[in-house]
């Protein structure tokens, strides 16, 4: 009888049992404890135990993806045999901007529920102890790693569990509000540096989308600090995400998962790459920082800017060598208006064909996920080596060492001949290739916009650029009275043509220097050996041509010369060029010390309250090198750096660099030069013009010190 009474008393005690909650643990900048949704759990059932954080005012902890910095809260469970703990049910996070960084996490009080499942053989009446070792990174202006070992006692009881009177409702509400799929349809498409994420579904109808935001699960897929512009549609919305490190890899992600917060609700989103769902609306160009970029342009302004940029491109330093070929061809027009007009149109055709071909290749490469921009071909050492030899061959032709057709440039007699027309076409094509290292005013924002658009829009911009570039030379023969002012053809033309060979020799030497910067001294030895072989080949071809003109056997000289030319080209293009160890510090030397650019160095300098001057340059960019000499190497600029305490960072794009390419694209640019000036108090940079002066740089540094 006594034993029965004891059993009944134990049963009644169990009916009123509640889980024993240990006192909260103060880790330094937060209080942590385990709280339950239910007073008990049945054998084989699942309940929820939440890690409660009460975070000090002004401090925060982190979501599962902490963003640009930080670390997520972790829980290591110690459970009785057969008990299981699942993954944290993460509430929707909040954005936490920190200087130039964007982090994701929580402030105030937050509950992180975890499903806990009892084994089917759990014995009713027992009380189990759950132990959790929790680690936190708690941040304000500094970050402090903290930890706590927490316990929670949970009774096992048959039947439906009663909710905990203190925490049950809060834990249940946290679980109910946690992000869930919601029946949404999502897809993404890459548009240059932008990842357009389109989401549709009935659950979005009627919601205020003004503050919609996508929190990715993977920290590497987007640039968290960049804005996410929103385009609303009848069935949903499209967000413009700036692709992160993962999308710069050879095999970019094919899926994108995360949380969409919109209108006070949170949804889990899982998107695959493909056609964007109907009803989500389209997406314009990527978000811009500040200054003159191409992000806000439409098609009409971009076409106008491209045409103006093409006109100005004729005056840029990189095009100076090709002016020799233009001048030689134009001088040869002498008073033959119809022939001159035909050659002008042939030159125009060569320019447009080459611009569109380059644009097509560039667009195709970017559509495949690779990061390339304007001038991309000159980032390849074999291409640079081949162009150097081509410039040398053109110079040797202008010097009269050998002849191609009726002269390669169409100068001299036979203007109406087929050779002259081919020469004009070739001159236009080569002019575009040589102009590729330059980015003229107006041209940069136009190209930056074009490379984020559809292929037809991008080709329209490149077509306008080609029209502007070719216009002066192509239209000149159609101007009444202009040709009549030219000197009459005569012996002076041969002298003039030979004198114009020397800018081409200079272009060949410059490209050889670019190759050395890209691939080291061994590359210089190879290109010089190839140049000697090419010069010998040109001389032999010239000998053969003169023997043929005299009615003598010219075949041996022409064959040997042709073989040597092929050998020279193969010797320059075929080698596997390795990068030198000092590529990052290449470029014209300045009197101002600089460091290699990285986003982390910009952030560190801004955090220290210093202005930052960023110079994105390349050895093959002649405009960049001219700016180095006429502006950035001046004593006044050096003094301004010292007076303002500005940090000078240089991003060298001489060889392909996906990180630099992505940064250029973020500012609406597709090529170099690009000059950014960050203020001492942080914020987005000011973009300087492509052509610098000493005074312009000094003023920009002083302004940056004050903002």
Residue pLDDT, tens place only, 339-357: 777 877 888 888 888 878 8
pLDDT at position 640, please? 87
Identify the architecture of domain 587-706 in CATH: 3-Layer(aba) Sandwich (3.40)
Q: Please say whether the beta carbons of 459 and 302 come within 8 A.
A: no
Lowest mean pLDDT among 179-183, 406-410, 468-472, 614-618: 406-410
- Note the helical H segments in 276-336: 299-313, 320-331
Global confidence as pTM: 0.44
pLDDT at 515 over 80: no
pLDDT at 307 over 80: yes
pLDDT at 293 over 60: no
pLDDT at 430 over 60: yes
pLDDT at 686 over 50: yes
Helices (H) and strands (E) in the chain, counts: 18, 23
* Range 16-176 has CATH code 2.60.40.10: yes
Contacts 24+ apart (CB under 8 A), 8-16: 10/125, 11/125, 14/124, 14/125, 14/155, 14/157
Supply the mean pLDDT for the chain: 78
pLDDT at position 407, please? 37
* CA–CA gap between residue 329 and residue 425 (Å, rounded): 11
* Distance of alpha carbon 36 from the chain centroid: 47
Q: What is the largest CA-CA distance in the chain?
A: 137
pLDDT at position 88, please? 96
DSSP, residue by residue, 432-485: HHHHTT---TTHHHHHHHHTTS-HHHHHHHHHHHHHHHHHHHHHGGGSTTTGGG
Q: Report in angstroms the alpha-carbon separations of 614 from 246, 287, 649, 663.
A: 24, 20, 5, 11
pLDDT at 389 over 70: yes
* Distance of alpha carbon 11 from the chain centroid: 68
Split at pLDDT 50, 70, 90, the class of 520 is: low
Mean per-residue pLDDT for 74-97? 94
pLDDT at position 287, please? 39
pLDDT at position 319, please? 62
Report pLDDT digits (tens) over 126-163: 999 999 999 999 998 788 899 999 999 999 999 888 99
Class of the CATH-defined domain 185-273: mainly beta
Q: Which two tokens stand for residue 447?
A: 């190209």
Share of the chain above pLDDT 90, in %: 25
**C-alpha torsion sign, points 10, 16, 19, 23:** negative
> Residues for the chain: how many in total?
707
Backbone angles phi, psi at 552, to 5 degrees: -110, 170
pLDDT at 551 over 80: no
Residues paired with residue 256 on neighbouring β-strands, in sequence order: 271
* CA–CA gap between residue 658 and residue 591 (Å, rounded): 28
Topology alike, domains 185-273 and 587-706: no
pLDDT at position 521, please? 66
Mean per-residue pLDDT for 678-691? 83
pLDDT at position 376, please? 56
Q: Which two tokens stand for residue 425?
A: 């076409």
Beta strands 612-617; 647-652: pairing state: parallel
pLDDT at 405 over 80: no
Q: Higher pLDDT residue, 377 or 472?
A: 472
pLDDT at 402 over 60: yes
| Residue ranges of domains in the chain | 16-176, 185-273, 299-387+403-490, 587-706
Q: Report in angstroms the alpha-carbon separations of 595 from 49, 623, 647.
A: 51, 21, 8
pLDDT at 74 over 90: yes
* CA–CA gap between residue 98 and residue 69 (Å, rounded): 9
pLDDT at 519 over 90: no
């Amino acid at each position: 009888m006594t034993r029965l009474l004891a059993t009944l008393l134990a049963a009644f005690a169990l009916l009123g049992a509640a889980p024993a909650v240990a006192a909260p643990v103060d880790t330094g900048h937060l209080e942590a404890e385990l709280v339950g949704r239910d007073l008990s759990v049945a054998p084989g059932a699942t309940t929820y135990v939440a890690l409660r954080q009460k975070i000090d005012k002004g401090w925060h902890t982190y979501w599962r993806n902490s963003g640009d910095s930080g670390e997520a809260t972790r829980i290591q469970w110690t459970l009785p045999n057969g008990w299981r703990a699942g993954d944290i049910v993460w509430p929707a996070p909040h954005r936490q901007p920190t200087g130039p960084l964007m982090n994701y996490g929580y402030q105030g009080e937050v509950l992180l529920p975890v499903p806990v499942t009892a084994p089917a053989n759990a014995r009713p009446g027992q009380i189990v102890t759950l132990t959790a070792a929790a680690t936190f990174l708690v941040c304000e202006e500094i970050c402090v790693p903290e930890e706590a070992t927490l316990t929670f006692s949970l009774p096992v009881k048959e039947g439906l569990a009663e909710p905990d009177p203190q925490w049950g409702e809060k834990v249940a509400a946290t679980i109910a509000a946690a992000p869930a799929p919601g029946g949404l349809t999502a897809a993404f498409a890459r548009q240059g540096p932008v990842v357009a994420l389109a989401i549709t579904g009935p659950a979005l109808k009627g919601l205020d989308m003004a503050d919609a935001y996508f929190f990715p699960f993977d920290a590497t897929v987007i640039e968290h600090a960049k804005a996410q512009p929103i385009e609303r549609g009848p069935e949903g919305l499209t967000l413009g995400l700036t692709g992160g490190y993962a999308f710069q890899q050879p095999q970019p992600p094919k899926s994108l998962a995360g949380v969409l917060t919109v209108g006070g609700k949170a949804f889990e989103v899982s998107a695959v790459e493909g056609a964007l769902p109907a009803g989500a609306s389209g997406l314009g160009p990527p978000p811009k920082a500040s200054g003159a970029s191409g992000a806000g342009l439409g098609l009409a302004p971009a076409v106008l800017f491209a045409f103006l940029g093409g006109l100005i491109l004729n005056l840029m330093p990189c095009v100076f060598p090709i002016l020799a070929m233009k001048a030689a061809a134009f001088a040869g027009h002498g008073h033959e208006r119809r022939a001159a007009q035909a050659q002008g149109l042939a030159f125009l055709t060569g320019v447009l064909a080459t611009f569109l071909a380059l644009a097509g290749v560039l667009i195709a490469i970017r559509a495949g996920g690779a990061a390339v921009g304007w001038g991309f071909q000159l980032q390849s050492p074999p291409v640079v080596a081949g162009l150097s030899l081509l410039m040398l061959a053109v110079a040797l032709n202008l010097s009269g060492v050998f002849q191609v057709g009726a002269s390669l440039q169409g100068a001299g007699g036979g203007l109406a001949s087929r050779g002259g027309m081919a020469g004009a076409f070739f001159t236009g094509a080569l002019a575009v290739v040589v102009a590729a290292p330059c980015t003229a005013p107006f041209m940069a924002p136009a190209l930056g916009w074009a490379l984020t658009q559809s292929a037809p829009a991008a080709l329209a911009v490149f077509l306008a650029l080609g029209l502007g570039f070719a216009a002066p030379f192509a239209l000149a023969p159609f101007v009444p009275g202009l040709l009549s002012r030219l000197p009459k053809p005569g012996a002076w033309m041969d002298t003039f043509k030979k004198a114009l060979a020397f800018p081409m020799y200079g272009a060949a030497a410059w490209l050889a220097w670019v190759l050395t910067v890209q691939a080291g001294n061994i590359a210089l030895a190879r290109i010089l050996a190839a140049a000697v072989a090419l010069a010998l080949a040109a001389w032999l071809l010239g000998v053969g041509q003169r023997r043929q003109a005299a009615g003598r056997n010219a075949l041996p000289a022409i064959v040997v010369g042709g073989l040597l030319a092929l050998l020279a080209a193969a010797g320059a293009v075929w080698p596997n060029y390795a990068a030198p160890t000092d590529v990052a510090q290449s470029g014209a030397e300045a009197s101002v010390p600089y460091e290699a650019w990285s986003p982390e160095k910009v952030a560190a300098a801004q955090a220290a309250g210093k202005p930052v001057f960023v110079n994105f340059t390349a050895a093959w960019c002649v405009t960049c090198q001219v700016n180095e000499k006429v502006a950035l190497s001046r004593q006044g600029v050096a003094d301004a750096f010292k007076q303002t305490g500005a940090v000078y960072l240089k991003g060298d794009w001489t060889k392909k660099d996906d990180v630099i390419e992505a940064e250029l694209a973020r500012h609406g640019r597709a090529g170099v030069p690009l000059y950014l000036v960050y203020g001492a108090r942080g914020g987005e940079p000011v973009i300087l013009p492509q052509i610098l002066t000493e005074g312009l740089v000094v003023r920009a540094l002083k302004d940056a010190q004050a903002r």
